[in-house]
Amino acid sequence: MATNFNNTNVKQTVVERFFEGVFSVSEQWAQAFDYRRNDIADLRISPITGVSSIPKWLGGDLPVQELEALTPQLVEYEKYGVQVRVDKYDAKDVPESTTTLPQRIGVATASTYAAKAAEVLAGAFSTQTTSVDGQALCSTTHTTAIGTRSNKLTTALDSAAIMAAIAMFRRWRDYQGLPRDVVAEGGFYLIVPPDLEEAAGQALGSAVTSAQNQLNMAGSYGIQTIVWNHLSDADNWFLVSRASSPLIFWERSAPDLQVQIDEDSKAGKYSLDFAISAAVSALPDGIVGSEV
């Protein structure tokens, strides 16, 4: 008796091939994102700030400072889905379709995830705004309780540009204006398009920066390079904190692949759906971007 789609082993093989396709696409980008799997209707990222200093206490009642609830970042998910039908006799004539098609669906799924995440960096200097001040994720005019701060460069990628970004992280101040040494919190990801792979290697991999054999400090921070082929701009690059990335990826519902037989046509039905979103956090802490 011939094997059909309702056979448990066949279904298991389909799922295995699907994930083979998923894992064949690099997910390195996800390391630089705050990856969430909250099973809720919408995701609210609510920054709470306050307590800018601890005042002297002269006895009696303690000095009172109020926490300030800032405007939350509201993230809404989007639904994705597809159904691919395979004629019964096409499947018989080309039996490889039971394995290659699920792989292809897996590749398309992983690519859709990556493309959605890449939208955040594509709009990092324009449309992707933080809810606290309404500025683009990477901007020279982020507002705080006491002034402004910048996490944007306009410098081509080299070791000096990396050090300029490091200096920004060293001098960073939080919303209340308190100094925050982001460098001391941990390492960084350098996210670049394929066009900048060589420049990234030269900026971080060289022991010296000039003919005078000056030490290349940029290579001493253990920065991990992520070359991301979903980034469309050939010149822009980003340095992202491992400890406090403001890049948000939300998997509201993981990929659900179902394989069934249509009762009327006898066609095999490969049905897939998932729900995801990508956004920036409410605050711009943890990233420096360069728009060249």
Question: DSSP string spanning 225-292?
Answer: EEE-TT---SS-EEEEESSS--EEEEEEEEEEEEEEE-TTT--EEEEEEEEEEEEE-SS-TTEEEE--
Question: Cα separations (Å) of 158 from 62, 74, 182, 192?
Answer: 51, 36, 21, 12
- In this predicted structure, what is the pLDDT of residue 165? 98
What pLDDT score was predicted for residue 116? 98
> In whole angstroms, what is the distance from residue 136 CA to residue 280 CA?
9
23 pLDDT higher than 50: yes
| Nearest-angstrom CA–CA distance, 285 and 292 | 21
Helical (H) or strand (E) element with 45: strand 43-45
Average pLDDT over residues 22-27: 93
Phi–psi pair at 258, nearest 5 degrees: -120, 140
Identify the band that residue 8 occupies on the pLDDT scale cut at 50, 70 and 90: low
CA 92 to CA 95: how far, in whole Å?
5
Note the pLDDT of residue 65. Answer: 84
Q: What is the pLDDT of residue 5?
A: 46
Among 8-12, 54-58, 92-96, name the most confident range: 54-58
Provide the whole-model pTM. 0.91
Q: For the chain, what percent of residues have pLDDT higher than 90?
A: 72
**CA dihedral (131, 137, 141, 144) positive or negative:** positive
Q: The dihedral of CA 43, 190, 238, 193: what is its sign? A: negative
Q: How confident is the model at residue 292 (pLDDT cuts 50, 70, 90)?
A: very high
Q: What is the mean pLDDT of the chain?
A: 91
Residue type (1 letter), 245: S
pLDDT in tens, 116-170: 999 999 999 999 999 999 999 999 999 998 899 999 999 999 999 999 999 999 9
- Listed range (77-86, 116-125, 206-215, 218-227) with the worst mean pLDDT: 206-215
Buried b (16+ CB within 10 A) or exposed e, 204-230: beeeebeeeeeebebbebebbbbbbeb
Share of the chain above pLDDT 70, in %: 96
What would you report as the CA-atom Rg of the chain, rounded to the nearest whole angstrom?
24
Which pLDDT value is given to residue 210? 72
Q: Which pLDDT does position 52 carry in this prediction? A: 81
Q: Say what the pLDDT of residue 126 is.
A: 96
Question: If DSSP codes are grouped into helix, strand and coil, which group holds residue 142?
Answer: strand
| Residue 223 main-chain phi, psi, to 5 deg | -75, 130
